[in-house]
Structure 1
Amino acid sequence: MNNEYNPDLVTLISDEGEEIEFEILDIIENDEGKFYVLYPYYADPADAVNDPGEYYIFEVQEIDGEEELAEIEDDEKLDRIAAIFEEEYNKELFDEDE
C-alpha cells in the first residue's frame, strides 16, 4: 500500500519575477466567485520550520479566456472567504478525530 502524500501544487510569479510554489489547500466556489486557498510549499520539511503558518486566498479572474489568480482587494470579501475556509477546515479536522 502506498501512503505517500502528493500535494496539488501551483506556481505563482511574484511582482519581482520570483517563482513561488504553493500547495492548494482548497478551492471555494460560491456566488461571489471562485477562490484558491494556498499555502507555501516546501520540498524539504525542515524549511517549513520558520514559516509563520499563514495561508493565502486568491480570487480567480478570467483574462483573455484564461484563469489567473489575483489578490482580493475587498477586505470584507476576504474575511468572508477566509471564514468559509476555516469553518470547512475545522469541520474536516474534527471529523478525522472521531
Structure 2
Amino acid sequence: MDNNYKPDLITLIDEDNVEHNFEILDTIENEKGVFYALYPIYDNAKDSVDDSGEYYIMEVIEEDGEEQLAEVQDEALLDELSAIFEKRFEELFDDVEEENEEKK
C-alpha cells in the first residue's frame, strides 16, 4: 500500500456561498473542453457512510474572465464523459487488484 498517496482536493462554493470539498478523481481535456470527475469529501464520517457513492462531472467554463466549474448541461456529452470516466476507473481498479495479487 502506498502510504504517500495524497488526493488532489478542490473546494467549490455554491450559489448559497456554502463551501463543498471534493477529491479530483480524474480529468478529461479534449476538443470539447476540460472536465473533472469529482467525489465529495465530508467532514462528518456518518455523511461519508450515508453517501450514495456517486461522483460529479464538472466542466471548466469562463465567466467574466475567470475559470469556474459548472455542471455539464448537455446530456449527450454527460453520457459520453461518464462512459470515458467509468472505463478509466475500471482500468484503474483492475490495476490495483493486480498489484494486490502480486503482493500476496
TM-score clears 0.5? yes
Q: What number of residue pairs does the alignment pair up?
A: 97
Q: Deviations over 1:16-38 (max 9, x none)?
A: 11100011001111121110110
Change (3 A) 1:77 1:62: same
The answer on 1:86 being equivalent to 2:86 is yes
**TM-score normalized with structure 2 length:** 0.82
Question: 1:93 Cα shift?
Answer: 0.8
**TM-score normalized with structure 1 length:** 0.87
2:102 is matched with which residue?
A: none
- The letter of the residue matching 1:79 is D
2:5 is matched with which residue?
A: 5
- The letter of the residue matching 2:47 is D
- The letter of the residue matching 1:20 is H
Q: Secondary structure at the match of 1:5?
A: coil
1:63 is matched with which residue?
A: 63
Backbone CA RMSD of aligned residues: 1.8
- The letter of the residue matching 1:12 is L
For CA contacts below 8 A with separation 6 or more, give which structure has more relative contact order: 1
- The letter of the residue matching 2:39 is Y
Which of the two has higher C-alpha Rg?
Answer: 2
Unaligned runs of 5+ in 1: none
Tell me which stretches of 4 or more aligned residues in structure 1 moved more than 2 Å.
42-47, 62-66
Q: Deviations over 1:18-59 (max 9, x none)?
A: 100011001111121110110001245443100111100011
Identity %: 53
- The letter of the residue matching 1:24 is I
**Which of the two has greater helix per residue?**
2
